[in-house]
Amino acid sequence: QVQLQESGPGLVKPSQTLSLTCTVSGGSISSGAYYWSWIRQHPGKGLEWIGYIYYSGSTYYNPSLKSRVTISVDTSKNQFSLKLSSVTAADTAVYYCARMVINLGSWYFDYWGQGTLVTVSS
Amino acid sequence: QSVLTQPPSVSAAPGQKVTISCSGSSSNIGNNYVSWYQQLPGTAPKLLIYENNKRPSGIPDRFSGSKSGTSATLGITGLQTGDEADYYCGTWDSSLSAGQVFGGGTKMTVL
């Protein structure tokens, strides 16, 4: 059974960089069959996709966040990470990591982490 | 404003059937598969339906999905109190601002 677990600071100051890591267990990030995504949910709101990374390091980001987002992968640790720069209070949200399936017009998330709340405040 | 449009809320009595709609356009639903997610209070979303109408292992057949043109529908039969949750549709949008998009979510209440 694949499991994903987010980790990182729960409080980040405005203008600083938010950094989170997702540790994958029960499966290898390097399997090549999946992509690895970050998704966030503002308090009481819907889901917003942030971006994905393939085990090779290739990435694709939400155009609305692209200028501030970096997703990286460490296959030796079976982890992938999110960095979001120049954060403001509008970046306060629950951040989820998820395994993404991409296949001939099909895009979906079959496994999710439990989520971690990140609050941006001084 | 979400790219995909869902009703904010739906409700029905236990044992009844409910449907949740998800409306999009030719750049998203019209040309890509749709997935549906259930988010129980205080938990992470869970995949319910993928590729319009397929259920992952462990999802009961009370949950079904369909797609027609630029709209998709999630159906839930035999409603149970444990089905009270937020439901989201999702797909890929192939417009100039391409990316994974979600509906705004529908809160489903079992009366």
pLDDT in tens, A28-40: 999 888 999 999 9
From the number of C-beta atoms within 10 Å of its C-beta (0-12, 13-18, 19+), residue A89 rates as exposed
Q: Which of residues 47-86 of B touch A (CB under 8 A)?
A: 47, 50-51, 56
Whether residue A11 is predicted with pLDDT greater than 90 in this model: the reply is: yes
> For residue range A67-111, what is the model confidence (pLDDT) as tens digits?
999 999 999 999 999 999 999 999 999 999 999 999 888 899 999
pLDDT along chain B (111 residues), means of 10: 93 96 96 96 97 96 97 97 97 88 96 89
* Dist. CA B71–CA B103, nearest whole Å: 11
- Amino acid, single-letter form, for residue B25: S
Q: Which of residues 70-99 of A touch B (CB under 8 A)?
A: 96
Pairing of strands B71-76, A18-25: unpaired
The beta-carbon neighbor of A63 closest among B56, B97, B102 is B97
Question: What pLDDT shows up at residue B98?
Answer: 84
